[in-house]
């Protein structure tokens, strides 16, 4: 069978499975299979050398029955509208499974941000808002940072929106720097959330976390804090992390008997690439390719990009792996899902596993509305409660209906969105 590389087709196929299990009527499937609204626009940007360049931008609002659309903006050279559509749909399910009152959206720009100067990035961010601002807002659609975008960029976007609307509106984007209305704990939130879910999965499976081991793909925001929390909260050992090297355009796995994420952070650039020479000097073993996936560990955490565990790569998963915790969005293809089920690996599906980021973004919006800000400890404690409760919501569904964890997550999420649509009289 040939695997589809189109993430929107994957998202729709996953939705179709959930819709079939819930026996949803056709009109409900029709509204949820496609985004409610899509925006495509051109963003002219004056470059530092005086020339003008035009970038393609997108915003997709998949569903807002449960509340304003919510989701990041990605700056990536290979961005496509179908990637944005898939990610917007996954945001709808993520907010619903986490039981926060938000819908799903996603945005993007086709650009390699590392090729722009700081001033050019600022003009591009302001240009994106200039095209979209009438369809954004704390009660309409609230973007956030994602791959290739940063808290600083959210600061520029918030400023541009506030300038256009004539009032200070910190709640129009989340993931802002703490000094201008960002939330404490947002940086750690997604990685820590992954590990809160892993902790509950280990309790469920009777695994002693203190002698457990993990292999992680990626060493960006999610992976770094997942690695830290795996060691410091669970007391386990991380055997390896992997990352993509921008210069050689290859991925590498960095192994040790128990890697030190704090040290690795000091030799990692802003794009999540580890300095090979410094890692080798510190005694790390460096292997090319997907070595992280074949390690003899208890937990695998893909936290890089979509489509990494596919029919080909899934074959090398070690038979001792017990938990697959999907830190990334859409890291596993439908075909690889079958291999994972066959191995009896316990899956924590992406939109449950990595919901910590959007939960904390929701806390940021709440704090912006109150104009009162919580300490980091309070944010992380509330995050733990929400993640734990979302985990058991899905686990209970999987046990009640005797279904795979991914299907259970879809059942919980789709049901909540459909209930909101029904109460609002849409279907
Ligand atoms: P990031 O850009 O900070 O880091 C990505 C990491 O993946 C980098 O270390 C990069 O080198 C590595 N990588 C890329 N391709 C690779 C490959 N082929 N092999 C090995 N490593 C590779 O991104 P992030 O914010 O950590 O996000 C990672 C994933 O988690 C994405 O799928 C993102 O959509 C998802 N996610 C992020 C958040 C968040 O709050 N940051 C929230 C939910 C989901």
CA nearest ligand 1 atom 16, residue = 244
In a domain, 33, yes or no: no
Centroid of ligand 1 to alpha carbon of 147 (angstroms): 7
CA–CA gap between residue 154 and residue 148 (Å, rounded): 12
- Asked if residue 32 has pLDDT above 70, the reply is yes
* 212: CATH: 3.40.50.720
The answer to whether the CB of 327 is under 6 A from ligand 1 is yes
The answer to whether the CB of 220 is under 6 A from ligand 1 is yes
**Of 386 and 7, which is predicted with more confidence?**
386
State residue 270's pLDDT score: 84
Residues 250, 122, single domain; the answer is no
The answer to whether the CB of 217 is under 6 A from ligand 1 is yes
Centroid of ligand 1 to alpha carbon of 229 (angstroms): 17
Residues 175, 197, single domain; the answer is no
Task: Collapse the DSSP code of 425 into the 3-class scheme (helix H, G, I; strand E, B; otherwise coil) and give the result.
Answer: coil
Residues 165, 44, single domain; the answer is yes
- Closest CA relative to residue 412, chosen from 322, 349, 342: 349
State residue 313's pLDDT score: 94
State residue 247's pLDDT score: 86
pTM: 0.95
The answer to whether residue 106 is catalytic is: yes
- Pairing of β 285-288 and β 299-302: unpaired
Centroid of ligand 1 to alpha carbon of 52 (angstroms): 31
Query: In a mutational test of the pocket of ligand 1, which residue from 70, 221, 242 has the highest number of ligand atoms less than 8 Å from its CB?
Result: 221
pLDDT-derived band at 305, boundaries 50, 70, 90: confident
The pair of three-digit structure tokens given for residue 318, joined into one six-digit string: 């070690």
State residue 1's pLDDT score: 38
Residues 171, 190, single domain; the answer is no
* 56: CATH: 3.40.50.10860
In a domain, 175, yes or no: yes
- Asked if residue 384 has pLDDT above 90, the reply is yes
In a domain, 31, yes or no: no
Which of 5, 70, 94, 106 is labelled catalytic?
A: 106
Residues 258, 134, single domain; the answer is no
Residues 124, 259, single domain; the answer is no
In a domain, 171, yes or no: yes
The answer to whether the CB of 243 is under 6 A from ligand 1 is yes
pLDDT tens by residue, 95-127: 999 999 999 999 999 999 999 999 999 999 999
Q: Of 181, 214, 231, which residue constitutes the final position of a domain?
A: 181
CA nearest ligand 1 atom 20, residue = 243
In a domain, 12, yes or no: no
In a domain, 32, yes or no: no
CA–CA gap between residue 199 and residue 202 (Å, rounded): 5
Residues 267, 146, single domain; the answer is no
The answer to whether the CB of 171 is under 6 A from ligand 1 is no
Any long-range contacts for 390-395 (C-beta under 8 Å, 24+ apart)? 390/97, 390/98, 390/99, 390/352, 390/355, 391/196, 391/197, 391/200, 391/201, 391/348, 391/352, 392/200, 393/97, 393/99, 394/97, 394/349, 394/352, 395/200, 395/204
Residues 249, 389, single domain; the answer is yes
**Domain range for 134:** 38-181
CA nearest ligand 1 atom 32, residue = 328
In a domain, 286, yes or no: yes
Task: Collapse the DSSP code of 226 into the 3-class scheme (helix H, G, I; strand E, B; otherwise coil) and give the result.
Answer: helix
In a domain, 396, yes or no: yes
Residues 165, 280, single domain; the answer is no
Residues 108, 190, single domain; the answer is no
List the beta bridge partners of residue 73. 107, 145
User: How many structural domains is the chain composed of?
Assistant: 2
In sequence order, what E strands does 97-182 have?
A: 104-110, 141-145
């Amino acid at each position: 069978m040939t695997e589809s590389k189109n993430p929107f087709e994957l998202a729709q196929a996953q939705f179709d499975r959930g819709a079939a299990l819930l026996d949803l009527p056709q009109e409900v499937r029709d509204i949820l299979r496609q985004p409610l609204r899509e925006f495509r626009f051109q963003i002219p940007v004056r470059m530092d050398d005086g020339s003008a360049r035009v970038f393609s931008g997108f915003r997709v609002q998949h569903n807002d029955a449960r509340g304003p659309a919510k989701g990041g903006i990605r700056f990536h050279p290979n961005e496509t509208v179908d990637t944005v559509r898939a990610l917007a749909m996954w945001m709808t399910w993520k907010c619903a499974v986490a039981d926060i009152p938000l819908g799903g959206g996603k945005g993007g720009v086709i650009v390699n941000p590392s090729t722009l100067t700081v001033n050019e990035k600022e003009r591009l961010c302001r240009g994106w808002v200039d095209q979209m601002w009438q369809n954004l807002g704390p009660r309409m659609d609230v973007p956030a940072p994602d791959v290739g975008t940063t808290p600083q960029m959210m600061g520029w976007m918030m400023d541009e929106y506030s300038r256009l609307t004539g009032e200070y509106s910190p709640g129009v984007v989340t993931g802002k720097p703490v000094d201008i209305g960002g939330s404490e704990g947002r940086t750690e939130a997604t990685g820590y959330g992954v590990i809160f879910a892993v902790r509950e999965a280990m309790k469920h499976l009777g695994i002693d976390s203190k002698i457990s081991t993990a292999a992680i793909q990626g060493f960006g925001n999610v992976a770094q804090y997942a690695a830290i929390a795996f060691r410091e909260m669970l007391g386990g050992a991380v055997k390896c992390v992997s990352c993509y090297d921008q210069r050689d355009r290859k991925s590498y796995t960095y192994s040790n008997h128990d890697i030190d994420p704090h040290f690795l952070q000091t030799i990692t650039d802003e794009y999540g690439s580890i300095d090979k020479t410094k890692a080798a000097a510190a005694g790390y073993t460096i292997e090319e390719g997907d070595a992280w996936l074949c390690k003899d560990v208890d937990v695998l955490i893909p936290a890089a990009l979509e489509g990494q565990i596919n029919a080909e790569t899934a074959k090398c998963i070690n038979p001792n792996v017990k938990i697959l915790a999907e830190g990334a969005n859409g890291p596993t293809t439908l075909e690889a899902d079958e291999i994972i089920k066959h191995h009896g690996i316990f899956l924590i599906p992406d939109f449950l596993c990595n919901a910590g980021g959007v939960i904390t973004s929701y806390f940021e919006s709440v704090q912006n509305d109150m104009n009162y800000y919580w300490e980091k400890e309070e944010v992380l404690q509330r995050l733990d409660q929400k993640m734990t409760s979302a985990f058991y919501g899905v686990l209970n569904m999987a046990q009640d209906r005797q279904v795979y964890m991914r299907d259970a997550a879809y059942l919980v999420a789709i049901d909540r969105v459909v209930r909101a649509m029904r109460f609002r009289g849409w279907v």
